Amino acid sequence: MAELKVGKKAIVRGLGGAALLLGLAGLAVMTPGLAAGEGHSLTIALDPPRDAPPLPSVAGPEGAPLVVIDAGHGGHDPGAKSPTGEQEKDLTLAVAQSVRDALVKDGRVRVALTRGDDRFLVLRERYEIARELGASLFLSIHADSAGEDGEAHGATLYTLSEVASDAEAAALAQRENKSDIVRGVSMAGRSGEVASILIDLAQRESLDSAVDFTRLLHREAQPVLPFREDYHRSAALVVLKAPDVPSVLFETGYITNEADRGLLASDEGRARVGTAVARAIEIHFAKRIASR
């Protein structure tokens, strides 16, 4: 396959006599004619690059630790869908708002939501909001799905796998612009080895803190919310890859299971879940402050 760079932004690739042109204007598919100028083309306009989303408002007492709650999916990404029509994006937002409301009521912790309405955010934007706000904990809310298997049920907690952690640390250390700030320390002007060590230390500390939080969340939420027997798992989930913010993904249950869905879809059930999650967050921060 032939490849030709056009300027700095476009690439032409030969495909069996046809070609693709990818540039700022869009995607063009061109087929050659018998003579110059006789080819045909189809141009598909691409959306312009997205601006970074505005930072959300923060509620809670000034100086208190900050948790960012992320309602999974949203906008044109509905997530999973239940047999009765509920969409994951709606349930996750409602649960996230319940957690926020419980935290605001208690007044011990600051809290922000990555989204407060039905909007789409790419995965990296979600944890970058937490980093930009200086959060001490990031919790992404989701609901699981098992297709037609209505028997699968129970909540699951995910933290970043160590393999994924190492890969993300390595990628961050290799960035050309070392202006990233990790735990308040700028990477600018530091050697690759020093940057790698600092990032690795920060990420391992974040992962240890995240694992501690999963135990707390399981303990506090178990009386309200059924959990899978293997409730703690690790995975290379993009949304968990903030190097310096302890991050946990919370699958609150199966949207395809009637009991799980009923709990999350009811105001009373979500309020109970929100209160339990808020209590786990408050205990987590209290323990961190006491250990300093």
Residue-wise pLDDT tens digits, 26-59:
544 444 544 444 555 555 555 666 677 789 999 9
pTM listed for this prediction: 0.75
- Percent pLDDT > 70 in the chain is 68
**Contact residues for 260 (Cβ-Cβ < 8 A; gap 6+):** 143, 153, 154, 226, 252, 253, 254
The Cα-based distances of 250 to 9, 144, 254 in angstroms read 39, 9, 12
pLDDT in tens, 198-219: 556 566 788 899 999 999 999 9
Q: Which residue has the higher pLDDT, 10 or 148?
A: 148
Distance CA 82, CA 247 (A): 27
The CB density around residue 160, as the number of other CB atoms within 10 Å, is 28
Distance CA 186, CA 181 (A): 4
Local confidence band at 176 (pLDDT 50, 70, 90 cut-offs)? very low
251 in Cβ contact with 79 (< 8 Å): no
**Span 51-77, average pLDDT:** 93
Q: Which residue has the higher pLDDT, 35 or 163?
A: 163
Q: Count the alpha carbons within 13 Å of 210 in the hemisphere toward its beta carbon.
A: 32
At CA 245, angle to CA 243 and CA 247, rounded to 5? 100
pLDDT score, position 211: 95
pLDDT score, position 19: 45
Structure tokens, 151:
């028997």
Distance CA 159, CA 179 (A): 26
Distance CA 224, CA 273 (A): 6
Q: Which residue has the higher pLDDT, 37 or 163?
A: 163
The CB density around residue 196, as the number of other CB atoms within 10 Å, is 17
pLDDT score, position 148: 73
Distance CA 198, CA 193 (A): 9
Local confidence band at 292 (pLDDT 50, 70, 90 cut-offs)? confident
pLDDT score, position 194: 53
Least confident piece of the model among 20-24, 54-58, 69-73:
20-24
**Span 239-249, average pLDDT:** 89
Distance CA 227, CA 121 (A): 28
Least confident piece of the model among 53-57, 246-250, 271-275:
53-57
Name the range with the highest mean pLDDT among 53-57, 69-73, 176-180.
69-73
Set out the domains of the chain in order of their start, with CATH numbers. 3-45 (no CATH), 66-290 (3.40.630.40)
